[in-house]
Structure 1
Amino acid sequence: MTPAVLADLVRSSAVQVLSARGLDHAALPERVTIERPRNPEHGDYATNLALQVAKKVGLPPRDFAQALADEVAKDEGVASAEVAGPGFLNFRLAAAAQGEQIRQVLAAGEKYGAGDALAGRRINLEFVSANPTGPIHLGGTRWAAIGDALGRILAMQGAEVTREYYVNDAGAQIDRFARSLIAAAKDEPTPEDGYAGAYIVDIAAEVLRREPGALALPEEERHQVFRRVGMALMLDEIKRSLHEFGTDFDVYFSETSLHTSGEVDRTVEELKASESLYHADGAWWLRSTEFGDDKDRVVIKSDGVPAYIAGDLAYLKDKMGRGFDLCIYMLGADHHGYIARLKAAAAAMGHDPDVVEVLIGQLVNLFSEGKPVRMSKRAGTVITMEDLVEAVGVDAARYELSRYSVDSTLDIDLDLLRKHSNENPVYYVQYAHARLASLQRNAAELGLELDANADLSLLTHPREGDLIRTIGEYPKVLHTAAELREPHRVARYLENLASAYHKFYDVGVRDAKGRVLPQGDEEATPVTFARLALCEAARQVLANGLAVLGVSAPERM
C-alpha cells in the first residue's frame, strides 16, 4: 500500500464516518496529507485529518480520529490505526501491504513515480537564455541543470513541455561583441566596453577563415559580417556546451525575428487599441501598475525606438499564440522586477496573469582550498560551464547545482565534489546505485533470479520497513517537486533513499538474519528472494531519480 493509496483509504473512511452520522463531508480536502512520523515507533504513517476538519464538521477531534481509526483498521492492508495526542492518527501497515510497493516499482520500472497531475497542460519552459556574446557562466549553468530537471519533472506529471532558449540577438551587446571580434582580428586592444578572453580571439580567427576578405570591407559591412558570423559561431558553441552538459532545447527563439517580422509593431498597435498603452511625455507606456507592477513601463520611447519590454510583450504574445497555457521564465537574480512586469503584460493581453510564472535564481560561487575561484581559463572574466565541468565532471556539476533551492545563493566546494567519499552527495547516491547493481550481479552469479512473485510479507525487519516506506515516497516527491517547481526535492530525496539503503545493507552485513545473499554453503530462502526484490526496487528508484536530474546511474564505481 503506497501513501497515495492510504490517503484514498483515509478519505473514503472519513466519508463513511461522517455519512453514518448524517454529517456533510464537503469539508474534507480532495487530497489527504499522509506523512511519515518523525519517530518510527509511532507507526509507519500518520495524518492530521481529524484535527484539520473536526471543527468544520462539528465533532471533537479525538472522537473523529477514533471513529476514523476504527474504520480504516477494517482494511486488511492496515495492521493498526491508533489515535495520538489531540487527534493525530498513526498507522501501521500489514507487511504484505507494505511489500506491494515493491511490486509496483518492479512492474512500472522506469515509469515508476510518474503521475497525471499536469496531463493536458502545454508548458513553455524558458531557461538559460544567456546572451550569445560569450560562454555560459555559472548562473546560466545553474539554470541549465535546474531547468532541464524541471522540464523532466513536469513531463513526468503528464505535461507537454517545450524547452526554449531566447536568443538576445537584437541589443547593443551584440554590436559590442562584433567590435570586440574586429579588434581581435586586427590584433588591437579590446574596446573599452567590449568583451575579452581567449574565446574572442578564437571566434575572430574563425570569422576570418570563413570570410577571408572581411577586414577589407567598408566599416558598416565589415561590422555586419563579424556580427552575423561571430554570433552564429558563439551560439553554436553555446549549443555544444549545453548538449555536452546534457541539456538540449526544443526551440531557439531569436529576439531579432520579433522585430524583423513586424510582430513587435503589431503587438504595440494592438495594445494601443485596447488602451493598455497610453501616451505621455512623448512616449507610450504600459499600464502595468493596474496589474500589480510598481510603476508603469515605457514601451515606445520618446524617440520612437522600442524599449526592451516591447520585445517581451511580442514574445509573450507569440508564446500564447503557439497554444501554451503556462509560460515559465527562469531568470537571473537581477531580473526580479520582471515578475510583475510579465504578469502585467499577460493581463494587458487579456490573459490570466497566472499564465506567467517567473523563477528567480540566485548567484553561484566557486571555492577551492577555501578560497574563491574567480577567473576563467577561457573567458577571462567569469567562470564558465566548461570550467565547472572540467573541474568536477557533468554528473557532480548537475547534481550539486540541482540540490539547492534556486532562491538561495549557492557556494560550491570543488574539493568536496572531487572526493570519492560519502561526504560528496552525488558520490553517495551513485555509490548506493552501484552497490545495488553489484548485488544483482552477484545474485546472478549464484544462479538467483529476481522473482516478481516473491513473498514480500517476509520483509519485517525495521530497516526493511524503513527502506520500503522511503521507496514509496518517490511519487509524492515528484508530484511536489512539479507543483512547487523545486527539483532540489528530488536530490534530497535520493540522499534519504541512499541512506535508508546503506543502513539496511550495513545492518544486514552485521546480522546474518539481515543478509541479502546466502554465504558459503547456505541455501537461498524465500526471504532471500524477497530481499532481492526490495533491493532491485531501491536500485530502480535511485536510477529513476538520477535520470530526472540528468545524472548517470553507474553500475560500477
Structure 2
Amino acid sequence: MTPDELSRALSAALTSAVADGSLDLPADAVPASVHVERPRQREHGDWATNVALQLAKKAGVAPRALAEELASRLGATPGVKAVDVAGPGFLNITLDAAAAGELARTIVETGAVYGRTDALADQTINLEYISANPTGPLHIGHTRWAALGDAMVRILRAAGADVTAEYYVNDAGAQMDRFGGSVLARIRGTEVPEGGYRGEYVAELGAKVLAEHPEIVDLPDDDALALARESGYRVQLAEIREVLESFGVHFDVWFSERSLHESGAVEQAVERLREQGHVDDREGAVWLRTTDFSDDKDRVLIRANGEPTYFAADAAYYLSKKDRGFPGKIYLLGADHHGYINRLKAISAAAGDDPERNIEILIGQLVSVEGAKLSKRAGNIVELRDLVEWIGADAVRYSLARYPADTPLELAGEEMLKQSNDNPVFYVQYAHSRTCAVDRNAAERQVRRHHDDGADAFDPALLDHPTEAALIGRLTEFPRIVAQAAELREPHRVARYLEALAADYHKWYGECRVLPYPDEPVEAVHRTRLWLNDAVRQVLANGLDLLGVSAPERM
C-alpha cells in the first residue's frame, strides 16, 4: 500500500462516515486526499495523520472521538494491520507486511520514473543560473551554482514542472571592451590596459585568435580591438560551454545580453514600464520608481548621456522571459548579489506581475575547497576544470548538492576522495554498487526472481524482518522527498534522503541473507529479497540522477 492509496482510504472512511450519518460534516469538507507522514518513532507504526484534529471542530465532536470513528473504519481496510489512536486524536497506522512489501514490486516495475510526481505540473519556470561573464574561465563559485542549478532543474522536472534552463551571457558593456583590449595586448606583446584581464588564459586566447586571424596584426587599432573582442569572446564562451557539459550541466537557452540592445528590447522595455506608470524623467535621466515597491531607492534606466544602465538590461531581460511564456522566473545569484533582490522584485511588480509568485531570487553563499590549488591559467581563482580533474565530477556535484545554498561552505578536498563510509558520496554510490553485486551473484548462483513458468516469485508477506520494514518505509518516502525538494527549491533534501536509504540498506544487508549460503536451498524469501534489493538499486539510481551523479555498478 502506497501513501497515496492510504490517503485515499482515509478519505473514503470519512466519506462513508458522513454518508451513514455517523459524522455530521459537510460533504465538501471531506478532503479528496488526507495527508499522511512517517512517524518520528518507528514503534508508532508506518504512517500517521492528524486529520481528526483538523476536522473535529467542523464536525462538532472531540478530535479523539473522530479519530476513534476513523480507526474503526480504516481497520477493516485490506492491507491495514492496526490503527491506534494516540494523544488528543492522532492516528498511527501499521500496515501488514504484504501490503507494505508490495511497494518493492511497484518500484521495480515503475523503474526510472518512480519518484516522479505531478506536484508542480501547473508550473512553467525559467531557471537562470551561473550566468558568469564570458571574460574568463568558470571558477569554484560558479561550480556551486552549476551543481545546485542543474540539480534543481532535474528535481523540478521530476515534480512535473515545465522547466527551461537558461544561461544569461553578459556580453555587453565596458567589460567586453576591456576583455578585447586584454586579448589584443597579449597578441601585440604590449601592456594589458588598466582594469583589464591578466591571467595566462588571456595569452592562450590571444594565441588562438592570432592563429585564426593572422591579419589582426596589420589592422588599425579600432578594427583590431573589435576582432580581438569578438573572436576572444567566441573562444572563451565555447570553453565555458565545453566545461559545463563535461560537468554534466546542460542549458536549453544561452541568452545574449547584447541581443537586448541590438534588437531595441531595452528601449522598448523602458516604454512598456512607462506605460505602466512607474517611469519618471528627472535630472536629465530616465528613472524607474522602484521605491513604489519597497526598493531602498529609485533606479536609473537611461543615464543623462543617453546610455542605458545594466538595470535597464535587467528590466528588458525580465520582460523577455515574461514574453516568452514563463510565469515563473527563478534567479540563482551569487553571494554578492543581495542588493538585486528588491530591485528585481520591483521590476516584476512594475511589469504588472506578482513579485511573490512570478519571481524567486535565491542567493548562494561562498564556497571553498581545502587543499585546492589556485589556477595557473586564471590567476587567483580555483577553476572548475581543475577541481573536477582533481576530485571528480561526481564527488564535487554531490558534495555541493548536499548543503543548502545559503550555507557558507568549506569542503575538504582530500576527504572527498576517500573511499570510506565517512565520505557521503562514496557511501551512497557504494550502496548502489552493492545492490548490483548482489544481482551478479544471484545470476551466477541461478537465484531467480521468477519461477520457471515465468511467473514472478515475489511474496511480499515474507518481508517481515524489522530492517525490511524500515527499508520499505524509507523507499516509500522517495516521491514525497522529491516533491518537497522541488517545492522548497532544496536539492540537499534528496542527497540526505539517499544517505539515509543507503544506511537502511547496509543494515538490512548485514542482518538478512539476500542469497542463501552455498550449501542451502534457494527459498521463496531469497527470491523475494532480490526484488527488494532491486527496488533499492532503482531508487538510489533515480535519486543520484536527480543530483547529476552517476550510479556505478562496481567500485
Q: Same fold (TM over 0.5)?
A: yes
Identify if the C-alpha distance between structure 1 residues 11 and 280 changes in structure 2 by more than 3 Å, giving closer, same or farther: farther
Greater displacement, 47-56 / 270-279: 47-56
Equivalent residue, structure 2, for 1:212: 214
Distance in structure 1 (CA, Å) of the matches to 2:340 and 2:131: 15
Aligned to 1:388: 387
Q: Which moved more, 1:63-72 or 1:397-406?
A: 63-72
Once the two structures are superposed, the pairs formed by residues 187-226 of structure 1 within 5 Å of their partners are 187-226=189-228
Distance (Å, rounded) in 1 between the aligned partners of 2:294 and 2:57? 36
Q: 2:467 matched to 1:469? A: no
Instruction: Name the SS for the 2:281 alignment partner.
Output: strand
Q: Contact (CA 8 Å) 1:374, 1:381: kept in 2 or not?
A: no
The residue matched to 1:80 in structure 2 has which SS?
strand
Question: Any conservation in 2 of the 1:135–1:384 contact (CA below 8 Å)?
Answer: yes
Q: Summarize deviations over 1:189-236 as a string: whole Å, max 9, x none.
A: 443412222211111111111111213322211111111000111000
1:111-150 to 2 correspondences below 5 Å: 111-150=113-152
For residues 410-462 of structure 1, the C-alpha deviation after alignment (integer angstroms, 9 at most, x for no partner) is 11110110100111110000000000000001101111222445111110000
Q: Percent sequence identity over matched residues?
A: 51
Which position in structure 1 is the counterpart of 2:453? none
Alignment counterpart, residue 484 of structure 2, candidates 480, 483, 498: 480
- In the alignment, the residues of structure 2 paired with residue 398 and residue 537 of structure 1 have an alpha-carbon distance, to the nearest angstrom, of 24
Residue 11 (1) aligns with residue 15 (2): no
Q: Deviations over 1:444-492 (max 9, x none)?
A: 1111222445111110000001101111111111111111111111111
Distance 1:182 1:530, change over 3 A: same
Cα distance between partner residues in 1 of 2:13 and 2:472: 24
Deviations 1:88-141 (A, max 9, x none): 221110111101211110111011111112225322111111000111111211
Larger mean CA deviation between 318-327 and 239-248 belongs to: 318-327
Contact 1:27 1:57 in 2 (8 A): no
Task: Report deviation, 1:47.
Answer: 1.8
**Greater shift in the superposed pair: 184-193 or 152-161:** 184-193
Give SS of 2:540's match: helix
The secondary structure found in structure 2 opposite 1:438 is helix
What is the CA–CA distance in structure 2 between the aligned matches of 1:12 and 1:289, rounded to whole Å?
52
Matches within 5 A, 1:182-331: 182-331=184-333
Q: Is 2:128–2:332's contact at 8 Å kept on the other side of the alignment? A: yes
Confirm whether residue 490 of structure 1 aligns to residue 494 of structure 2.
Answer: yes
- Return the alpha-carbon distance in structure 2 between the equivalents of residues 544 and 83 of structure 1: 36
Question: 1:516 is matched by which residue type in structure 2?
Answer: V
Partner of residue 449, structure 2: 450
Q: Deviations over 1:222-253 (max 9, x none)?
A: 11111100011100000000000000111111
> Given the alignment, which residue of 25, 43, 46 partners 1:44?
46
Alignment of 1:521-540 (within 5 A): 521-540=519-538
Return the alpha-carbon distance in structure 2 between the equivalents of residues 521 and 44 of structure 1: 36
Aligned residues, how many? 547
Give the 3-state SS of the residue equivalent to 1:330 in structure 2. strand
- Could you give the per-residue CA deviations for residues 153-208 of structure 1, whole angstroms, max 9, x where no partner exists? 11112222211100000022212211221222233444341222221111111111
Relative to structure 1, is the Cα distance of residues 15 and 379 closer, same or farther in structure 2, using a 3 angstrom cutoff?
farther
Answer yes or no: is the 8 Å Cα contact 1:102–1:534 preserved in 2: yes
- How far did residue 17 of structure 1 move? 3.8
1:71 deviates by: 2.0
Normalising by structure 2, we get a TM-score of 0.95
Q: Could you state the TM-score of these two structures normalised by the residue count of structure 1?
A: 0.94
TM-fit CA distance, 1:25:
5.8
1:364 aligns with 2:374: no
Q: Which amino acid aligns with 1:479?
A: A
TM-aligned CA deviation for residue 15 of structure 1 = 4.0
Local SS of the residue matching 1:213: helix
Report if aligned partners of 1:377, 1:387 keep a CA contact under 8 Å in 2: no
Correspondences of 1:410-421 after superposition (within 5 Å): 410-421=409-420
Uncovered stretches (5+) of structure 1, i.e. residues with no partner: 509-514
Q: Displacement of 1:31 after TM fit? A: 5.3
C-alpha distance in structure 2 between counterparts of 1:86 and 1:400, whole Å? 42
Query: Counterparts of 1:325 and 1:219 in 2: how far apart (Å)?
Result: 46
Instruction: List per-residue Cα deviations over 1:296-350 (Å, max 9, x = no partner).
Output: 2211122221111111111111112111221111111122232232222222222
Q: How far off is 1:407 after superposition?
A: 1.1
Tell me, in whole angstroms, the C-alpha distance in 1 between the residues paired with 2:239 and 2:475.
40
> How many Å separate the matches in 2 of 1:220 and 1:443?
71
Give the gaps of 5 or more residues in structure 2.
451-455
Q: What is the distance in 2 between the residues matched to 1:75 and 1:141?
A: 51
1:397-416 alignment runs, 5 A limit: 397-416=396-415
**2:61 partner SS:** coil
* Aligned-partner residue type, residue 502 of structure 2: A
- Could you tell me how far 1:28 is from its partner in structure 2? 5.8
CA distance in 1, matches of 2:481, 2:40: 17
Q: RMSD between aligned alpha carbons?
A: 1.7
